[in-house]
Amino acid sequence: MSEKKHITTSGIEIKALYTEAKSMDERPGEFPFTRGIQKDMYRGRLWTMRQYAGFSTAEESNKRYHYLLAQGTTGLSVAFDLPTQIGYDSDHEMADGEVGKVGVAIDSLKDIEILFDGIELKDITTSMTINATASILLAMYIALAKKQGADLKQISGTIQNDILKEYAARGTYIYPPKQSMRLITDIFEFCSKEVPKWNNISISGYHIREAGSTAVQELAFTLANGKTYLKAALNKGLDINVFAKRLSFFFNCHNNFFEEIAKFRAARRMWAKITKDLGATDEKAQMLRFHTQTGGSTLTAQQPLNNVIRVSNQAMAAVLGGTQSLHTNGYDEALSLPTESAAKIALRTQQIIAFESGVTDTVDPLAGSFFVESLTDEVEAAAWAYIDRIDVMGGSVNAIESGYMQNEIADASYQYQKEIENGERISVGVNKFTQEEEGLTEVFNIDDSIRKLQAEKLEHLKTTRDNDAVEKALQRLHEAAKGENNLMPLIIDAVEKYATLGEIADVFRSTFGVY
């Protein structure tokens, strides 16, 4: 009887014993950065402990932010509700039933002012998971920073702004790909001059993985998308040695401990080669910097306290893989938005890894492991094979429009679920070691009254703002959208006049069309 094969989620076979690997003469902080982008890594500075939060109204989310900052969070990460993500104000009929549910409702600069009340933007970094309406939310953040008297050259943070993965895996796109890419490159150009410390895109593998991809597909499709953004910026005449420094990545971290570590190490090496091949000579422009979030789709509604262990395992893999920023999920997130107690345990998980585990004492502690080095090579080779196929198709936009990426992700998702259902893949508490369920005593619920509150705020805003100034600002934006000039200054002007998110998105809908 032959021995059962052991394979990773990407189908890479794991040998019983590794006795050799290629020689490792690379150094941390040096090209191609396999071992990390800093020479001293966490001995010099820990990763940013960033907890994803946003729900209900700006007032309620502001309270959670103050709580997280008091508990030791070192960066904020904003979740927006679905209407905000797809460019509808809370009083729009398309927003019914979704206001404040999966994130905070933001309709205008007034909401951003409330969201960050009592928080100096110059003192924190903020990550915003926003894509189709990224230009509008960034404009609001910049407008608030100006009102606070902050130096725009010094404020820092990240907007996700990765529309390609929306078409491939997530679905919160509005405009056709070409027009969406225009908005993204306008942000690149504007930020490089006006907000130079801002990361103007976070190229996201997270949602590709949440849609069901393998680790290798997540890596390959994310870097292929990154390559497309580089080429778009180059076509706009931007200097790769300037704008590539402000690109960052956002990866998922799943349960297969060593495959995830290998994925992160391979990602740095591959991105260094991609940027160098496209003309980057500055090492900082060749570095892949990334945020990690533990795997949302790995959380189980059954025996939810088991998720504390899953999240700890994933967080440790992210740290050993060299992440620059980390969000740990709450154990109850398969059931609801995280409760305050779950959010605190998630943050404590990071703090225990940072200050008690000892893994931060030396740089890339797994380097030289026969297994880790071999697996890094195999993950890289499998990812290059995907990227080569996408290049032959003409790049990510063509691969998405033809359905190639979507089909590959769907096939992988189906295969994974089939393995769970037939017992080939064990999920503790789901298909093995099950028990009579004991429900959580506390879950986080958002009621539908939030929409009424937001609608009332919008009505008040529209009766107190200068509507003539708003109309003129929107008309100037409409005319500019038909041309080729950078749109960011006009979007900032519109939000400063208190034009709403939906009004600005509608200007682009009328000019660009919808996809």
pLDDT, tens digit, 9 for 90 and up, residues 407-436: 999 999 999 999 999 998 999 989 999 988
DSSP secondary structure letters along 80-128: B-HHHHTT--TTSGGGTTTTTSSSB---SHHHHHHHTTT--GGGSEEEE
What is the three-class DSSP state of 510? helix
Over residues 18-36, mean pLDDT: 90
DSSP secondary structure letters along 295-358: -GGG--SSSTTHHHHHHHHHHHHHHHTT-SEEE---TTTTTSBPPHHHHHHHHHHHHHHHHHSS
pLDDT category, 441, cuts 50, 70, 90? low
Over residues 7-31, mean pLDDT: 90
What distance in Å separates the CA atoms of residue 472 and residue 70, rounded to the nearest whole number? 43
What per-residue confidence (pLDDT) applies to 414?
95
Which spans in 163-214 are helix H? 164-165, 177-194, 206-210
Highest mean pLDDT among 24-33, 44-53, 499-508: 499-508
- Predicted model pTM: 0.90
* DSSP collapsed to 3 states, 18-42: CCCCCCCCCCCCCCCCCCCCCCCHH
What per-residue confidence (pLDDT) applies to 52?
67
pLDDT for residue 469 is more than 80:
yes
pLDDT category, 340, cuts 50, 70, 90? confident
What is the three-class DSSP state of 253? strand
The answer to whether the Cα torsion of 431, 435, 437, 440 is positive or negative is negative
What distance in Å separates the CA atoms of residue 147 and residue 88, rounded to the nearest whole number? 25
pLDDT for residue 448 is more than 80:
no
What per-residue confidence (pLDDT) applies to 102?
84
What per-residue confidence (pLDDT) applies to 50?
79
What is the three-class DSSP state of 70? helix
What distance in Å separates the CA atoms of residue 162 and residue 141, rounded to the nearest whole number? 18
First to last CA, the chain: 54
pLDDT for residue 23 is more than 90:
no
What per-residue confidence (pLDDT) applies to 436?
81
Distances (CA, A) of 481 to 179, 236, 326, 490, 511: 10, 16, 37, 10, 7
What per-residue confidence (pLDDT) applies to 68?
86
What distance in Å separates the CA atoms of residue 252 and residue 317, rounded to the nearest whole number? 11
- 106 neighbors 505 (Cβ within 8 angstroms): no
Q: What average pLDDT is seen over the chain? A: 93
pLDDT for residue 1 is more than 60:
no
- 338 neighbors 296 (Cβ within 8 angstroms): no
What distance in Å separates the CA atoms of residue 475 and residue 52, rounded to the nearest whole number? 36
What distance in Å separates the CA atoms of residue 243 and residue 189, rounded to the nearest whole number? 8
What per-residue confidence (pLDDT) applies to 4?
80
pLDDT, tens digit, 9 for 90 and up, residues 204-244: 999 999 999 999 999 999 999 999 999 999 998 999 999 99
pLDDT, tens digit, 9 for 90 and up, residues 79-134: 899 999 999 999 999 999 999 988 999 999 999 999 999 999 999 899 899 999 99
Q: Across the strands, what pairs with 13?
A: 7
pLDDT category, 25, cuts 50, 70, 90? confident
Over residues 151-179, mean pLDDT: 93
What per-residue confidence (pLDDT) applies to 335?
87
Peptide bond into 28 cis (omega under 30): no
Least Cα distance to 29 among 342, 331, 288 occurs for: 288
What distance in Å separates the CA atoms of residue 197 and residue 374, rounded to the nearest whole number? 36
Q: Is 178 left (phi over 0), alpha (psi -120 to 50) or beta?
A: alpha
pLDDT for residue 373 is more than 90:
yes
